[in-house]
Structure 1
Amino acid sequence: KQQYEGPFRLIFSWKYVGVIFTLLGSLLVVLYFIWQKKVDERERSRKMMIGRARIGGEWELTNMEGKLEGSKDLLGKWLLIYFGFTNCPDICPVEIEKLVDVIDILDREDAKVDILPIFISVDPERDTIERVRRYCAEFSPKLRGYTGTKEQVGKVAKAFRIYHSEGPHTKGLKKTDPDDYIVDHTVICYLIDPDGQFHDYYGQNRRAREIAQVIKMKALQWDMKHGKAGKSWIDKLSSMISNDTKDVDQKTTNLENSKQNTTVAVA
C-alpha cells in the first residue's frame, strides 16, 4: 500500500529545513555586516572628533601691529594657518605662495568664503614684529603674521601638534652678527572653521586649486549644518559647478590642441 504524503511531511522534509537554515544564516551574515559597518562608522567618527579636539584650540600671539590677538578675535572667519619662519630658504616661501594662491582663488569666486591666511613664526628669537610684517608684505597684503615669546610660540605650536627644532647655530663674520640657523618644522596648513575649531589640514603634496575646491565644499557643508545655507549656498554651489565645467572645457581644449600639434608634427 502507498502511504499518503501530506503537506506537513513535505514542508518539514529535511530538504526544506536545510533551505530555511541557509536563508537564516545568510540573513544573519547580512545583519552582522550591517551592524559592523555602523560600529566602524561610529568608531571613525569618534576618532575624528578626538583628533579634532586634540588639534588647535585657543591661542594668542602678537600681530603685525604689535597688539595681542588670537583665536577669540578671529571667530566668525575661516582661517588657513601655516607655521614657518622668515629665514626659511625654500619650503616656507613655496608653501606661503600656495596658501596665498588658495585665498586668491576663493576670493575670485562669485560667492566668496570669508577666510584669512595666517602665518605664525616658529622662530621667535629672530622673527620680530617688524621682520614678520615685512616678510608677509612680500607675499600678499591679505597675509596676517604673528610672533611672540618663545613660551607663547611653543604653547601654540604644541596645541597644533607642530614639531619645530633649531638646527646648529653658526656665527656671522662679525661678533655683532646674529646666529644663522635653520628651523626644522612640520609643513602643514591647518583649516580652522568660524567656531575656532580644527576642520582640516593640507600637506605639501596638495595643490592650491585642489585645496580651494575642498575648502569651498567644507564651507558649504558647514553653512548647511549651521543653518546658514540659504541663497548663498545655492550661489556657491552654482559657482562650483560652473568652475568645474570651465576646468573640464579647458582640459578638453588643451587635449585637442595637443592632438593637433602631434598630428602636424607627424605630417
Structure 2
Amino acid sequence: MPLVTSEQMLLDAQKGGYAVGAFNVENMEMVKAVIAAAEELRAPVMLQTTPSTVKYGTLETYFGIVAAEAEKATVPVCLHLDHGSSFELAVQAIKAGYTSVMIDGSHESFEDNIAVSRKVVDVAKACGIPVEAELGKVGGKEDDLEAEADTNTDPAEAKEFVERTGVSSLAIAIGTAHGFYAGTPVLDKERVSEIKKVVSVPLVLHGASGLSDEDVRECVQRGMCKVNFATELRVAYTDAGKKLLEEKPDTFDPKKFGTVGMEAVKKLVMERMKVCGCDHKA
C-alpha cells in the first residue's frame, strides 16, 4: 500500500495501549528487513532517517526505496524524518514525500523551540503531514548533536508546548540517551505518567537501544506510543557482516553481506516490535 502518515497509527497506539516501533534505516537492506519484520508480525511500522543519513543518501533516494517497498507491503508503513535539524530540512522532507517529520528544537530555549516547532507545524499541517517535536534533552549523541541527559521534561512545560505548537506527537526526556549506555540508565518512568495526564498527543521514547525489555514495556504501559530504535540496528547489521568475513574471509559479493545484515536486522526488529506490543495491530 502507499505510504501512510504517522498520525492514525500513533492515535491507534495511544487508544490501544501499545507503541509503534520506529526504526532508523541506512540503506535498502535495512528498509527491506524492517518492512519484512512488520509484514511477518502484522505490525504498523515507521522507518526513519536522521539528518546525517539523509546527507549520505538524500531525502529523494530514501523516499524512493521506502515508497517502493511500502507499495508491496500489506501493513501500514510510514516514512519519518528523525531529528530534523532545521525548518528547511523538515520542509524539504515533506516535499520529497516523507509522511511524517520531526523538528528537534530541544537544544534551543523553550521559546525558540516553540517558535521553530510552530513554524514547521504550520507548513506540515497544510500538507496533511504530522509533526513530532522534542522537549527536554535526551542525552547522548544523535548525529552531530550531543546533549547532557539531566534535563528531563517538565510536565507543565510539556502541556504548554503542545498547546502552543499544535504538534502531533512529543518526544520527552526521562533519562534515556541516544547511542548505547555507559552504565545502567535510571529512568524517571513516573514522569511519563505525569506528562500523559496533562498532554493529549501521543508521547515518544527516544534512545531505546540498550534499554531492558522491562523498561520499554513499562514506558509503553505508562503512555509512550512510539519507541525509537537506531544504534542497535546498525550494530546488528555490521556485526553480521563481520561474522561472515571471519567465517568466509574470501567473500567479496556485496549481496552476501546484505543478506546476512537483513536477517540480523529483521530478527531484532521483530523482537522489538513484540516488546512494544504492536505485533498483530495492523
Is this a same-fold pair by TM over 0.5? no
TM-score of Structure 1 vs Structure 2, range by shorter chain: under 0.3
TM normalised by structure 2 equals 0.24
Which structure exhibits the higher relative contact order, with contacts defined as CA atoms closer than 8 Å and separated by 6 or more residues?
A: 2
TM normalised by structure 1 equals 0.25
